[in-house]
Amino acid sequence: MKDTRSIDPTSLQMLKVAREEGLETAWDRYLAQRPQCGFGELGLCCRNCNMGPCRIDPFGDGPQKGVCGATGDIVVARNLLRMIAAGAAAHSDHGRDVTETLRGVAAGEIKDYTIKDENKLKALALEFGISTEGKTVQEIAGKLAEAALEEFGTRKGYLQAIDRVPSKRKEIWGKLGIIPRGIDREVVEAMHRTHFGVDNDPANLILHGLRCSLSDGWGGSLLATELSDVLFGTPRPVRGRSNLGVLSKEAVNILVHGHEPILSEMLVEAAKDPGLISAARAKGAGGINLVGMCCTGNEILMRHGVPVAGNFLQQELAVITGALEAVVVDVQCIMPALGQLAACYHTKFISTSPKAKFPGAIHIPFNEHNALETAREIIRQAIENYPNRDKNRVFIPEETTEYVAGFSVEAILSALGGTLTPLVEAVKNNKIRGIAALVGCNNPKVTQDYNHVNMAKALIARDVLVIETGCAAIASAKAGLLLPEAAELAGAGLAEVCRALGVPPVLHMGSCVDISRILTVAAALARELGVDIADLPVAGAAPEWMSEKAVSIGAYVVASGIFTVLGTVLPVLGSNVVADLLTRQAKDLVGGYFAVETDPFKAAELIIAHIDAKRSALGI
């Protein structure tokens, strides 16, 4: 019988190894949970006070209200708002850490990092109203860091990046009262509103969910992206290789997994240390092989071309190759199961963040003030572990695929000659039908990578330029869609544009926080055309999403005016009121709205129909 857990041949090979070894993976744990709690899937269970937990019966035979009197509509809306708040907090805390690092570098307190993009530093300073005249780079960086930290609890009443938004969009947000006032403020207010006895109006709860998500997309995530570029360099197109075959049978293999580039940048630097390379060879290894996983992988692949071993559902499979000396993690999307699994092999599972400790992990605290030495210590531990590798248990799939990544906004503008006008003209001339952003995770409920890859192929075949971040981008990397040669799979118009510019039809724009790059491009296109973002022939999709961060992302994309298709269902179907708000009323309120379609080909058709309608309305 055909194995439908993944379309990735390396994943299927490793799942076979796992079965033979008697090892458990996310797919096994998913099957063990079935049937999953129907109340939870519909969003109809509440644990917000100790009179419960309460659940609302969707069929009308059981309780229709919680002990406090909350209806299903209230419970679903509160649960969704809490998901948005958690997702916004995760991405925005990432932004805070990067901002704190910039402040330390500017003050001379942090020595191991330098400012790699002075031009972007100065441009951001001017955006914040900071004069650069006669100031040193360090002085500018210090002023910018302080201004960025102010965004988390700003007293001026709105986030600075709102000035990037077209005036029509700001007017819509203003009328609805959802202009984000401060990053932390909106998260805190979300938690307050969902506490027992506070906000019990489903529509009001959802509107604040949009405001909270906007504080992520136009606040925390945007700062994470922009200030990472300042510190680590703005990505430019770079080639590399992807999939589990990037692991080496001869070298010390170190897998970096998580989301924050502060740690991974230092590991990249330390892995080049001639002394550590010599130490690895002294242990019988051919060298040091640093590879990425998930969004940390995206961060270092787009800045350094570091190979990426896979996306979310491959983290356990990488351990099962038996070839990893160390898995090094920071925060987000790291399975707690990794510690127990690593113990079945010689692999060291090393956690580094005080915010994220794991069962079975060795904890090596990472601090920006001694970043390089900590990175060297982590690599030393991996080197010392190399002789413990059982070569008889090593199985590394051979498949690898080349990719081109690193399409930041600046890189796209450079390819277009410094202006968006050529892109606008290509859209007007119907060479590019529209633009679709495919983002998000893997989910064992969905055949791994199937929706990502097939939706992207269906869209580019119809001349829709696809831009991607996160695990979606890694799926396309493994499928060969991030290569200029993939233009042969595109429609005639898109293929012509790709060949003229030497770019792939699917552009890798970074990690999941880098969806802020997509928002920046959308806002710039809207200004170029003199319209609102909601008027553009653009759409978004999260074909295999699973995390609360994805819920926040989807909410801020919709709130920014962009139609968004989900491949797995939000837990809101227990409330007709909330479902209707998100899939129908939102269109009239904010211009964007959600649709759910599990079939990637039908989802692509929804996106194409939306793009064509927007083209028609613009008269192009």
Annotated ligand binding at 212? The verdict is: no
**Matching fold, domains 244-393 and 408-618:** yes
Give me the CATH topology for the region 244-393: Rossmann fold (3.40.50)
Q: Is 398 exposed, middle or buried (0-12, 13-18, 19+ CB in 10 A)?
A: exposed
Q: CA 350 → CA 52, 205, 295, 354, 418, distances in Å?
A: 38, 39, 17, 12, 43
What tokens does 53 get?
Answer: 């937990």
**Other residues' Cβ atoms within 10 Å of the Cβ of residue 53:** 13
DSSP H helices, 271-405, are: 274-282, 294-304, 315-320, 338-342, 371-385
Q: Are 453 and 377 in contact (CB under 8 A)?
A: no
What tokens does 103 get?
Answer: 């402040």
Q: What angle separates helix 515-529 from helix 421-428, to the nearest 10 degrees?
A: 70
Task: Write the pLDDT tens digit of every residue in 110-136.
Answer: 999 999 999 999 999 999 999 999 999
313: Cα separation from own chain's centroid:
14
Annotated ligand binding at 498? The verdict is: no
Q: For the residues 559-576, what does the mean pLDDT come to?
A: 97
pLDDT for 61: 86
Q: CA 479 → CA 397, 530, 548, distances in Å?
A: 15, 37, 26
Q: Which residues contact 380 (CB under 8 A, 6 or more apart)?
A: 276, 279
Q: What gap in Å lies between CA 245 and CA 572, rounded to an integer?
A: 40
What tokens does 239 get?
Answer: 């080639």
For 328-374, give the DSSP string.
EE-SSS--TTHHHHHTTSS-EEEE-BTTB--TTPEE----GGGHHHH
Domain ranges of the chain: 72-232, 244-393, 408-618
Task: Write the pLDDT tens digit of every residue in 482-506.
Answer: 999 999 999 999 999 999 999 999 9
Q: Which residues contact 171 (CB under 8 A, 6 or more apart)?
A: none
Annotated ligand binding at 344? The verdict is: no
Query: Which residues partner with 262 through β-bridges?
Result: none
What is the average pLDDT value for the chain, to the nearest integer? 97
Band of pLDDT at residue 60, cut at 50, 70 and 90:
confident
φ/ψ (deg, to 5) at 275: -65, -40
What tokens does 213 get?
Answer: 């998500």
Q: Are 405 and 303 in contact (CB under 8 A)?
A: no
Band of pLDDT at residue 511, cut at 50, 70 and 90:
very high
pTM of the model: 0.96
Task: Write the pLDDT tens digit of every residue in 415-445.
Answer: 999 999 999 999 999 999 999 999 999 999 9
Q: What percent of the chain has pLDDT over 90?
A: 99
- According to DSSP, the β-strands at 45-46 and 54-55 are antiparallel
**Which residue in this structure is represented by tokens 């910018």?**
144
Look at residues 177, 44, 188 and name the one whose alpha carbon lies nearest to residue 579: 44
Band of pLDDT at residue 32, cut at 50, 70 and 90:
very high
Task: Write the pLDDT tens digit of every residue in 250-279.
Answer: 999 999 999 999 999 999 999 999 999 999
Please give the DSSP secondary-structure letter assigned to residue 108: T
Q: What is the largest CA-CA distance in the chain?
A: 73
Band of pLDDT at residue 295, cut at 50, 70 and 90:
very high
pLDDT for 156: 87
pLDDT for 269: 97
Task: Write the pLDDT tens digit of every residue in 344-381.
Answer: 999 999 999 999 999 999 999 999 999 999 999 999 99
pLDDT for 1: 84
- What is the second-level CATH architecture of the domain 72-232? Up-down Bundle (1.20)
pLDDT for 547: 97
What CATH number has the domain spanning 408-618?
A: 3.40.50.2030
Annotated ligand binding at 54? The verdict is: yes
Helix (H, G, I), strand (E, B) or coil at 403: strand
Band of pLDDT at residue 155, cut at 50, 70 and 90:
confident
147: Cα separation from own chain's centroid:
25
